[in-house]
Amino acid sequence: MSTADPVVMPLSQQNSRAPSFAVLSLNPAVDRVIYLHSALASGGLNRAIATRLDPGSKGLNVATLLSRLGCDVEYYSFSGGIYGAFCEERISGEMIRSYFVRTSCGLRENVKIIDGDDVCTELNTRGGPYSEAECESLISALAGTRAGVVCLCGSIPQGVEKGVYNSLIAKLREKGKICVLDCDGEAMKLGIEAFPDIIKPNLREAEELFISSGLEICSDYRVIPVENPWEKYGKTRRKVPEAAEKAAAMCGEISEFFSVRVLCTLGGDGAICAEPGNEDVLFCPAPQVVMRGFAGAGDSFLAAYLSSFFSESYKNDGARALVRAVAAGSAKVTIDGSGIPDAEAVDKMMSGTPS
């Protein structure tokens, strides 16, 4: 059935406290993960040894971990078809206030192939097209959010204006909202021009934004390693990696030019945080863990950072929040498929003795 009417989860199934975070996912998906015994044979026959299907998309991952870490969360997204019902059912088990606009098209499916050498190959579909009425319904709902921090996550599907994040950030900031942007490509390039408070690219995305913005390295940014709980157990590398140095220089300039806090994930090397007006860029290495699932690590990182940084106990302590964020991202990769860790898994990683 085609309709732009919202589907709101009953409040009796949701957290009754006033929400602190709102998360928008314009291009929801399901992730099908396929595991191979050996290296992927391009153009040949590959036999899967296991498969799994999980709700996907940056926004859903961020909302899920925010909730599991004890935050009040509102989630806004599209839903349609069999996969839409699948995602709605899964999220109903989380303490999240959900606002779904049912659409005439189903949700997209993304495929991730993890071969025997732990190399991950991703195939992402575009998503959509969503109608103008469906888009307006979802965006109007988000505009009325009670949350103080709004996360705009993921790619832009067919049927949605490429500059939608730019206009949303401008309107939300007028209302005093803190805006977090996690996307890439043209969506990030247009969105950052509205001056969000926080962005979270990975190293490739940061380099793409740096180049497309016409920036140059003008300052001598210093990489400052932060104290982390796993270093004393020998579970991480001591030397600052080249990726951190490269990210610090680019993200430092992005941060200064756009007056934005930049959280940049570096995969197995950890992550950095650059702030405007500060040439010291924080760096936290990642603990060495056995990797089982790649998708969602950056989303887990972002959720843990936000839940910590804006909490009463952390009091905007960026260094401590960065460590917890890296712990969450590392906890994620120890979980098969696109599964998201819970608070216990993050706390275990924070204990300094990851498995």
Candidates 146, 196, 122, 168; CA nearest to 25 is 168
pLDDT one-digit tens code per residue, 87-116? 888 888 888 899 999 998 888 999 989 888
The structure tokens listed for 8 are 């709101």
Find all residues with CB under 8 Å of 345, minimum gap 6, and list them.
331, 334, 335
pLDDT, one tens digit per residue, over 108-162 is 999 989 888 888 898 988 888 899 999 999 999 999 999 999 999 999 998 899 9
As a whole number of Å, the end-to-end CA separation of the chain is: 47
pLDDT tens figures, 201-253: 999 999 999 999 999 998 899 999 998 888 765 655 668 889 999 999 999 99
Q: How many CA atoms lie within 13 A of 258 on its CB side?
A: 28
pLDDT at 182 over 80: yes
Look up residue 96 and give its amino acid.
I
**Tokens 């599964």 -> residue:** 339
Integer Cα distance of 253 and 15 in angstroms: 40
All domains of the chain in start order, with CATH: 1-196 (3.40.1190.20), 201-355 (3.40.1190.20)
Which three-class secondary structure string do you get for 295-351?
CCHHHHHHHHHHHHHCCCCCCCCHHHHHHHHHHHHHHHHCCCCCCCCCHHHHHHHHC
Determine the residue type at 224: I
Per-residue pLDDT band at 355 (split at 50, 70, 90): low
Helix (H, G, I), strand (E, B) or coil at 72: coil
Nearest CA to 160 out of 186, 182, 178, 180 is that of 186
